Structure 1
Amino acid sequence: MSTTDPAPGANVATLRKARGWSQATLARKAHVSLSQLSKMEIGDRALTPAVAAALGRAFGLGMDEVLGRASVAADEEQLLFALRSAMRDYDMPEHQDAPDGRVTAGLEAADQCRDAVDVAALLALLPALLRDATTDAHTQNTASAWSALADVYSTVYWLAARHRWMDMAELAVTRQRWAVEQQPNPVGAAFAARDRAGTYLNFGAVERGLDVVDRAIVAVQSAPLSPVDRDLAVGILNLRGMTLAGRLRDKETGGREAERHIQSAWRAADSVVRDVDAHGLTFGPKNTLTHVLATRVDLGRPRDALALTDDLDSALEGLPPTRVAPTRINVARAQLDVGDRDGALESLVEAFDVAPQMARIHPMGRELLRVLSSLHRRSNPQLVRLSRLSGMTL
């Protein structure tokens, strides 16, 4: 299988060959099984996040370079340039204020694009929205205005992280943290910490990310917040914490740390009762379930993950595509791990159908497509259709 943007496992082979290393050399440097590496490179086994992090350390590269950065269409390059320019001008408001309500409307539109995984539309609106929110924050200098600016930067982080544009992702979370610090905002600070921990996740430095999460939880618990706001902030941080714990190389430690965050997240979700949207994110019982499922897969417990899927349609009902599609991909990972190739393909189809643009940028989705194509070794209409969605050719 070949593509302009290679799937992660194929990209590893390219990186290894560029260094003139044998598979045995890379396996030794990364402390992974030679058999496992060989299968990942040829497409008989999916490259997992934990192994990708180990390979990145061996290469001396970040996870973005191991998994491969997602490219944008030629006509979107100017939008990306405009977004970077707006981030550079973080302390330089425009001379003319944005009309009343435009920032709020822009954030609502951005949230809708993000929830629907409409990355093309999101990239189109972010440069102007960021400039409007920057001007609004500097002009009004209120907690709500600075919080809105922080939310825009959080959305920029989300877009950058999805494409593995790690320089932009790191700058976005730095700007996000700066914005929430302009006025007292404990909940905003918690969400900023959640995104900062995400940059460590994206670079494979999960231990550091867990430190960020734990420090932020301590800060939230001592902040003057209502019980609802405290549970929301702690819950969001726990979701990030369990994801980070699932990626720890020592799975015994990972399981213990993940369980700590899982139990705390469930307690917070119980108090929230139903899933709510805040600062561009969703928290509640349903989204907690999706994160627990993903963590079980990352910990190498696919059967435990699949045990949560008895009524998955109901469990996902009401959640946005940005949560539904990755969950279907994680189910596909678990199914593939237990040898259910047909079930994995069906789950992957469901993921790409609910969020078609994710097919081009989600590294695990692309990796599963490559592996399923290799394992089926025959023409399959569903695989052909997914290859067209993803831009990958069989």
Structure 2
Amino acid sequence: MSTTELAPGANLAALRKERGLSQAQLARKANISVSLLSKIEVGDRTLTPAVAAAVGKPMGLTMAEVMGRAGVAQDAEEQLSALRSAIRDYDLPGGQEVHEGQIGAALETAGRYRDRVDVTRLLAMLPRLLRDATVHAHTANTVEAWMALGEVYSTVYWLAARHRWMDMAELAVTRQRWAAEQKPNPLAVAIAARDRAGTYLNFGDIERGLMVVDRAMADAQAHLSGQERDIAVCILNLRGMTLAGRLTDKREAKREAQRHIESARNANVGIGHDMDVHGLTVGPQNTFTHELATNVDLGRPHDALALTDDLAAALDGLPPTRVAPTYINTARAQLDVGDRDGALESLGIAFDVAPQMARIHPMGREVFRVVSSLHRRSNAELTRLSKLSGIAL
């Protein structure tokens, strides 16, 4: 599995040159302007997910591959191999029986690491947790045990998707769906569909991802009731609005995004306040973070920035895994309106909230590449963020 330390725009330039394509040739094949491609490669414009998907197709690459896979430290390669082995052994439970309380405690620990974006500690514990949850699910054979196993696979998907390890991400969501189907559990099925739609997002296959979301919402509305239905519908709409924001047809994108935004808001009436649901944050605050990000993807940076005049207050109480990406999306919007100093400040907050995200978040790294290029001269904050991200000035 090849990895890159390049920011996405720089990685795109390297991939294009490896294939012997000129900027004009790739731009024509991707149906984008040569000017845009040139600005992206030199660091004057960010490479957005939508453009990454467009330029990836003629090169035979997914959006995730264009953005660049993140690697792990050499001493973590063994842990990654152990995790792959545990995923392969999904129906081969081995080892001593594990009590439900142990699984619950381990899931809480994994949830804390995920919330803090502590991917180093999370990767270290996942192989054992996955094997223990597998044994427990097969032994206990209860709705709760299979739900716990599904939650572990959801966490594996999250970790894999953050690093753009798409082979692992796809396998994780397949196993997650399998676990959800072992006992009747419509909420588990909805969460699995949300994660499966995420793989379509990562691959840049937006239309099919939206199909997965819409089908899952119909199932959730038919088989769930009360707050559980609201939770499932909200979770799926958050994924739906993110997908919609990246549709190529921007008129359709705005229409679809608004449909999912309104549906999520309606579901939030029954949810009330943000809560953790099997490792996922659901509620009005997280809906706000997705609205902001979707507006940026739709090319509406002013609308994104106008959603609140106090971002810190709007995010108060949310975990770093939601706070940091929102500051990164704010930095994207600020960059789009020409506020490079504001973008640098927002990026600094994001990386302070979740330092390990500086090494793995593609848009965070891409915004830093462009901000550092536009500043021309280095300063203390640029130097600090360069060390955090591993991107040379």
User: TM-score by structure 1 length?
Assistant: 0.98
Moved more, 77-86 or 96-105: 96-105
Deviations 1:44-66 (A, max 9, x none): 11000100010111211112210
2:81 counterpart SS class: helix
Identity %: 71
Are the equivalent residues in 2 in contact too, given 1:242–1:259 (CA < 8 A)?
yes
1:52 corresponding residue in structure 2: 52
Return closer, same or farther for 1:311/1:295 CA change in 2, 3 Å cut-off: same
The 2-side partners of 1:350 and 1:379 are apart by: 18
Aligned length: 391
Cα distance between partner residues in 1 of 2:312 and 2:4: 34
| Matches of 1:327 and 1:48, distance apart in 2 | 15
Distance 2:100 2:181 in 1: 24
Map of 1:201 onto structure 2: 201
Residue 128 of structure 1 deviates from its aligned partner by: 0.2
List per-residue Cα deviations over 1:341-393 (Å, max 9, x = no partner): 00000000000000000000000000011001100000111111001001111
User: Which residue of structure 2 lines up, in the alignment, with residue 133 of structure 1?
Assistant: 133
Match in the other structure for 1:352: 351
Query: Are 1:4 and 1:392, in contact at CA under 8 Å, matched by a contact in 2?
Result: no
- How far 1:269 moved relative to its partner? 1.1
CA shift, 1:95, in A, is: 3.6
Distance in 1 between residues matched to 2:276 and 2:365, nearest whole Å: 28
Partner of 1:259: 258
Once residues 180 and 21 of structure 2 are traced to their aligned partners in structure 1, the CA distance between those partners, rounded to angstroms, is: 46
Q: Is the 8 A contact 2:100 2:136 kept in 1?
A: no
1: CA distance between counterparts of 2:38 and 2:307? Answer: 31
Q: Extract unaligned runs of 5+ from structure 1.
A: none
Displacement of 1:305: 0.3
1:200, 1:209 within 8 Å by CA — same for their partners in 2? yes
Q: Deviations over 1:201-240 (max 9, x none)?
A: 00000100000000000000110x3310000000000000
Paired with 2:74 and 2:300, the residues of 1 have a C-alpha distance of 41
Cα shift at 1:4: 5.6
Structure 2: which amino acid aligns with 1:106?
A
Q: Between 362-371 and 95-104, report the one with greater CA deviation.
A: 95-104
The residue aligned with 2:148 is 148
| Aligned equivalent of 1:232 | 231
**1:350 aligned partner, one-letter code:** I
Tell me which of the two structures has the higher relative contact order, counting C-alpha pairs closer than 8 angstroms and 6 or more residues apart.
Answer: 1
Runs of 5+ consecutive residues of structure 2 not aligned to the other structure: none
Moved over 4 A (4+): none
Q: Distance in 2 between matches of 1:100 and 1:167?
A: 30
Q: Which residue of 2 aligns with 1:123?
A: 123
AA matched with 2:47: L
Give the Cα–Cα distance (whole angstroms) in 1 for the partners of residues 288 and 49 of structure 2: 20
Residue 69 of structure 1 aligns with which residue? 69
1:308 matched to which residue of 2? 307
Q: Verify the 8 A CA contact 1:305 1:331 in the aligned structure 2.
A: yes
Q: Distance in 1 between matches of 2:31 and 2:303?
A: 26
The letter for the 1-side match of 2:388 is L
Aligned equivalent of 1:183: 183
Distance 1:203 1:138 in 2: 32
Letter in 2 for 1:61: L
